[in-house]
């Protein structure tokens, strides 16, 4: 998983914003609207990043589609040291 | 000039363009993350740009070598076809990499 984590977060154009999303969700699970608001990003941009993070099993969601709350998966938690090292660089 | 060699040249030029795109994204990310992972990607792009630049140079500019690639009688067709396959395979691979990297 660690290689995918590195690539999705630091190898791609959208990596920096995905790191900010992950950091925000670590503080507190939120839905897409709340994320867009707190990170001052376009709702569609947030949705796109959330989909990429879901697809790579970095995030999981609970609840129905519209108001679904997003949070890091157990797998991501197990590699949280790596994530933290990446987050540090973005702040 | 044979179609094979035109395709080989165009593919090589495309490879350079794709790698500059990748190198730009990875270079910017390296400035942010300063990790060995982003550095590795950047070095990968850098050396593949050098490789493709060198190929383009001898296809188009080098006084001795570029003549081969303008005159069909100097190089057997099989060499052109193989060369084209190598260049195009790389274009396909790099396109896919750029596609996921822009995501």
Residue A65 pLDDT: 72
| Residue to test with chain A: of B21, B26, B28, B33, most A Cβ within 10 A | B33
Model pLDDT for residues B15-56, shown as the tens digit of each residue = 999 999 999 999 999 999 999 999 999 999 999 999 999 999
Does pLDDT of A34 surpass 70? Answer: yes
Q: Do A14 and B103 touch (CB under 8 A)?
A: yes
- pLDDT > 90? residue A51: yes
- Residue B73, φ and ψ in degrees, nearest 5: -75, -15
Say if the Cβ atoms of B33 and A10 lie within 8 Å: yes
Q: Facing residues of A71 across strands? A: A60
**What is the average pLDDT score of chain A?**
93
State residue B1's pLDDT score.
63
Identify the closest residue of chain B to A5 by CA–CA distance. B37
The residue that leads in pLDDT, A37 or B74, is A37
Q: Which chain A residues touch B if contact means CB-CB below 8 Å?
A: 6-7, 10-16, 52, 85-86, 89-90
pLDDT at residue B87 tops 80: yes
For chain B, give the mean pLDDT: 93
Q: pLDDT tens, A62-73?
A: 987 778 999 999
Decide if pLDDT at A17 tops 80.
yes
Q: Is A23 exposed, middle or buried (0-12, 13-18, 19+ CB in 10 A)?
A: middle
Number of Cβ pairs < 8 A linking chain A and chain B:
40
Contact B32 A89 (CB under 8 A): yes
For residue A13, the chain B residues in CB contact (below 8 A) are 25, 101-103
* Residue A47, min C-alpha distance to chain B (Å): 12
The ipTM is 0.85
d(CA A40, CA A32): 12
Residue of chain B whose Cα is closest to the Cα of A19? B33
pLDDT > 90 in chain B, percent: 76
Q: Please state the φ and ψ torsions of residue B51, each to the nearest 5 degrees.
A: -60, -50
Give me the mean pLDDT over the A50-70 stretch.
Answer: 91
Residue A39 — φ and ψ, nearest 5°? -100, 0
Residues paired with residue A62 on neighbouring β-strands, in sequence order? A69
> Least CA distance to A4: which residue of chain B?
B37
Total Cβ atoms within 10 A of residue B37? 20
Q: How far apart are alpha carbons B100 and B20 in whole angstroms?
A: 15
At A42, the pLDDT band (50, 70, 90 cuts) reads very high
Q: Which residues of chain A make contact with B100, given a CB cutoff of 8 A? A: 12
Q: Give the pLDDT score at B94.
A: 98
Please tell me the predicted confidence (pLDDT) of residue B74.
83
């Amino acid at each position: 998983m660690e290689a995918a984590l590195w690539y999705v977060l630091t190898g791609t154009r959208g990596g920096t914003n995905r790191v900010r999303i992950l950091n925000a969700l670590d503080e507190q699970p939120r839905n897409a609207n709340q994320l867009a608001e707190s990170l001052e990003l376009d709702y569609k941009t947030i949705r796109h990043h959330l989909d990429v993070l879901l697809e790579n099993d970095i995030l999981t969601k609970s609840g129905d589609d519209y108001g679904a709350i997003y949070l890091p998966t157990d797998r991501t938690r197990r590699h949280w040291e790596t994530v933290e090292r990446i987050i540090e660089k973005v702040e | 000039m044979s179609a094979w060699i035109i395709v080989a040249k165009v593919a090589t030029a495309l490879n350079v363009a794709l790698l500059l795109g990748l190198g730009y994204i990875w270079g910017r990310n390296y400035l942010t993350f300063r990790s060995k992972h982003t550095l590795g990607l950047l070095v990968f792009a850098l050396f593949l740009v050098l490789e493709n630049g060198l190929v383009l140079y001898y296809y188009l500019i080098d006084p001795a070598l570029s003549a081969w690639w303008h005159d069909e009688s100097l190089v057997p067709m099989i060499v052109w076809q193989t060369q084209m396959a190598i260049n195009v395979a790389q274009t396909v691979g790099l396109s896919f990499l750029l596609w996921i990297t822009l995501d």
